[in-house]
Structure 1
Amino acid sequence: MKKSRKLQFIILWLPISSFCFCFNFLSIDIVRAEACSDREINSYITKLGNTNEWIFTVAALKKCGDRAVKALSQELQQKDENIRINAVAALGSLGAAAHSAIPALSVTALADKSPVVRSSAAYALGSMGVAAESAVPALTVALQDEDRSVRSMVVSAIGSMGAAAESAVPALSQTLRDPDRTVRSNAIYAWAKIATGWQQKAATLSHLQLERDIRELEMALKIIETSQELFPEAEVALLRQSSQILKSHRYPNWSENGLKLLSQYRWLPIGVVYIATLASFWSLLLWQRPLWILGINNALQRYSSIALPGFSGRMKLPINWLVLVGFFHYHPRVLNAWFATQTLDPQTQQALAQSNSASKPTDVPLLEADSVQKYAKAIAWECIKQTFQPAAVKREQLLSEIGAIAGYDTAKIYLEHLEQNLGLLQAIGKAQDKVRFTHDLLAEYLASQYLVELCCDNENNWRKFLARVDTVPDCVAMKRFLLSVRDCCMALQATVKVPSFVTEELSQRAGIAQKSPSQIQAV
């Protein structure tokens, strides 16, 4: 009885083993011997319709490489649905070897009118894995397909690409609400594959990427929790685990990262100590001796054009800013301390007394502050423009010039307001026919503002002004005005866009720019 059973087993085993041997022989040795001419490739494609020869035909096409893939891609344009189905199925069986057919599968096959072709195209793209990453946008659109089998296969294809398909995540989350059970099941499987990919590279993600991935994963989990009974528990648990792991990378080991940063940028602690030390020193000096800061800053201003080493002389930085004192010299404590040391001349004191007097005239016209300032600037410029230093100008000449703003009568009203009510102007001369500002610094400041607003970003106007400056004899008063113009250029740079060369040219003409290399070496 036992011998008969052994005999039956041998009789069954021999044909099976013979078939396997013949299959291996035919699919490898014989195919290798075949040439891959266009005629033979077309012959193989024709045989795809024969299910009995499918395995051998696909093996033969695989040996033909890219030429066969190209021919199969062209078959996607055929009118016969069966031919298109066979071509797409063959490409899917070739796997990653058919990567050159990705454009045809994405554009043509996924948009085919046959749901079988569309579903097979999604399967073919999924069989290529990460190699088909470029097809993710087309697959994302296909998630809206009306056929459930197509949607199911598209979701599976996206899942096979893992984290490489993260651009499809928002649309993939919506498939978790799909009415078809298979689509939902494939969707959570795809989500698990993508989340696992994120989890594996979490340590290398930037903070923004990590936060984005966590946000997308949390949104998917919220959708799942609303209908948790519809999803496999194992996949849901895997998603939650991935979410926890991603969140654990939100706050890395700061000590290790800090040491790593210091090893990469060894100059960083030196820079921090340098800035902290100087900032503390100037802050202490600001509190105890604010005027010292002003003196030190003024002393260092002549070295404002020192070239930094390592920049081929192209980058220059003022020494007062390099040692950080430049950040403190305009502090209110410094300005208040300086103002307290100034002694005003009698004319200025009289002007201040008049402007601050409680018993003001009752007939003072109600003039807008902006208009008063506009006329004050124009008058200041008329008093300075001849020699670039404050001077007296004839009243009638002044009225004719500023009358262009809003008429002679209006100009006369503002002139009298500045002279009689505000005390900023005074009449001089025997006939009292000339006018000048009561304080030269105020005239220079207002004229500087007028000039900067007049020239603005016009390079040609600035060059004309600088050319006029070069024709005026050098004097201390003119340098003071040029410094005032330079300061206005720097202060109004954000609004008037003064050309970059203007401040440097003004500094040179005012005598504060660095010109001599020996002075640089002396530092």
Structure 2
Amino acid sequence: MEPLTTAAISDNQQARVYALSSVVTTKALKKTGERTVKRLLAVGAVSFSCLWLPVLPMGEGWAQTGKNAKVSTIIKHLKNKDATVRYNAADALGNMGGEAKTAIPALITALQSDTDATVRYNAANALWRMGEEAKEAIPALITALQSDTDANVRSNAANILGNMGYGVERAKEAIPALITALQSDKNADVRASAASALRSMGGEAKEAIPALITALQSDKDAKVRTSAAETLGNLRYTVERAKEAIPALIAALQSDKNADVRYRAAFALRSMKGEAKAAIPSLIAALQDKNQVSFNFDTVNLMAASALERIGLSFQDKAGTMPFAELDKAIGDLEKALKALKDKKDKRLDDDIIASLNRSLDALKTKRQSRLLDRTLEWMTKHPWVTGGLIYIIFFPSLWLILLRVRPLWILHINNALKPLASFKLPDALGGLTFPIRTLLFIEFFNYHPRVLDAWVEKRLNSAKQGFNKKKTVTERSVYVPIPVVLDNSNLAQLTGTDLQPIFNQKRATLLIWGEGGAGKTSLACTLAQWAMSDNETQRLSKHRMLPVLIEQELDNPLTETIGGQLQALISEAQAIDNELLTNLLRQRRILVIVDHFSEMGEVTRNKIHPAATDFPVNALIVTSRLEEKLDEVPKTTIQPLRVAGDKLSSFMEAYLTQRRKRDLFTDVEYFDACRRLSLMVGQRNITVLLAKLYAEQMIATKTGTAIDLPETIPDLMLAYLNELNRDRLETEPNNRTVQRDAQVIAWQCLKTTFRPTSAKLEDILAALDDSDTAPERLQHLEKRLRLIQTIGAAQDKIRLALDPLAEYLAGLYLIDTYASDTTSWQDFLTQVNAISDVELIKGFLLAVRDCCLAKGKEAGVPDFVADELALKTGLTTPAPAVLINS
């Protein structure tokens, strides 16, 4: 561009800039609105300055009139009607710096009264560029900070006052206004600028410390909290009172959600040096904080590491005068910090910081030793025997304690290795006593420490989970729908692990789950076992994990031996569990023993479950039973699963089908129609969980085409369940009728002695089955293919049905088919029933027989009195009142 004359500048150039600004502004208005216009006006201002200022010294007219003429001409533009011209004029004066000091009054006037915020903003900038000459503008800047309607102007005024604070003494007059802006300005940028400005005010800013602390703690905007933290850190060099902010800075480092704030908090603590020693744990924790800050490439953990280094250097400087307790604390803190830095293995953490901390730590230790070591060595020299004894007593327990923290299982391995070694006999002069080597080495006192047992359990936990989930009983109950229970006389809508934690965190826990057959006792016990192994501490039954051992068969061996064998199989251990270890696992509740079907077990087994016995090893015991067992009257917790109430039936079925991922098979109409039919089937009774689940499975089977229609009665539901199990049979395998008949025979054999579901001898069942030649193959089909029965006992010579309520209904159907219209047989049966004093023991079977009579009795010719007598016996009806006849 050729040099321009004054006239050209005054007319042509000004017009061109004016036109350019107008065009840009018009386009900006259309595109982005008022805020973008302001930004584009700033661009126009820069363009104006770039075009205007370079030509000023080049025009001949300007050279003759001198600097004052230049300034005067530009000052005139401050009064131009066009805001863009005024904006550019202020900018041009600012670029001239102190040379334009004669323009200060005009700029002050513009700052105070110009109607355009961008002009006031640029006027403030221009005043700042005047340097010391502009000190008379400080009151106007304070006023702008306090009362300008535009937040950008107030923020800029605060920034300029802060910049003036470094060189203009009078700027400190702004401290009260800055504090007020920090506390009460509604705009976050203004508050942040006020906080930043205070750091240049030196010692006079001490009165701002409380306001800065409050802003750091409670201002909602992260920019303000960041500026407050930064200013507090800077003021520490000039204001002693700034150390009052240390607790607030620690809190910000720990919990502020913004990385910039945490970074500045760490920076401020760094400036506090040794006075910030309370922040060491928080700074160590902050080493995990890898969040990058917005204003550079640093991360929070880098600043935290630097702060730890600075505190270490401060400790080093004061090591000679520190009290012993403080010196020990400083050493401990630096060791933790150094370990954390080394463990971090973060390449971004400077090795120089680690080296510096090492030097500080070595210096502290050296200073401590120089004050203590001499006296200690002198005493040890005078008392060698005592010293040796103390070293012996201290060394081995310390060794085991260290291993207990870092490698707890090593203690167990070392102890086991020392077991075969001979005992050590003391000299006769010392009594000639004999001690095991493990006792002399103190290791036996640590061998079964809770940390050791927890480590043993932890190592085998995954195997235990896999093994437990493979158990047939657990697999069949993989779908668990929470139901209401009574927990120690308190009704709970849904049982959780939290409800049981107070029980299992005691030194001994005995839990009885009791209720009728099909109530969901075994399902609940399996769920509790899963909770015992849970990784979620809030769901877990106790603070530590437990390995579950499920006992559901008669005990042919001693209880501890059975538990050991079950545990060995559960965790796939190659060798038998050491008896001493097993006993400690049981006594310290690292094994949860679940005894299922306790009420149906024989006396031999029941006599082995005596929680009150002094040698009973199980301290975490769950028992399921149809009866409210006394269990030797030991303190126990009871859980009674409740039946599914009629008004809750729909929601239970919904939850079950949803867990089975089958709810989408049914429209709402189909779903509620099926629930209605179930309600009609059971009448006014609440139903057991098992019955609801079987019905839900039949709904699925009907919908998927494996069953024709939903059953109308409970006995039909049981038979439909058998058919569903047998649907994939091969041509050579038993048909549905054969399976039904065989299952009924087996069920009656299992119930006929006590009228309670239990086991029957294999030879008796084979004798009772038709066509004994094919009976073994049919039993194999029921067990292996249908999983309907189980072979139990050490000799594998007993059979039981897998589901007790199913066994009761099948036995009832057997009686209907066998006794039919035989009145004498039914009377004999009822006589046997009446001979049993505790009807609760057999109530489930009696109700099942009654249901079978109502469903199948008419067809089979069963006398009417049978159902009536059973209803009376089970409490469904009451006896008619006696009629008095007058004589």
Q: TM-score range by the shorter chain?
A: 0.3 to 0.5
TM-score, normalising length: structure 2? 0.25
Q: Which has the higher contact order (CA 8 A, sep 6+)?
A: 1
Q: TM-score, normalised by structure 1?
A: 0.41
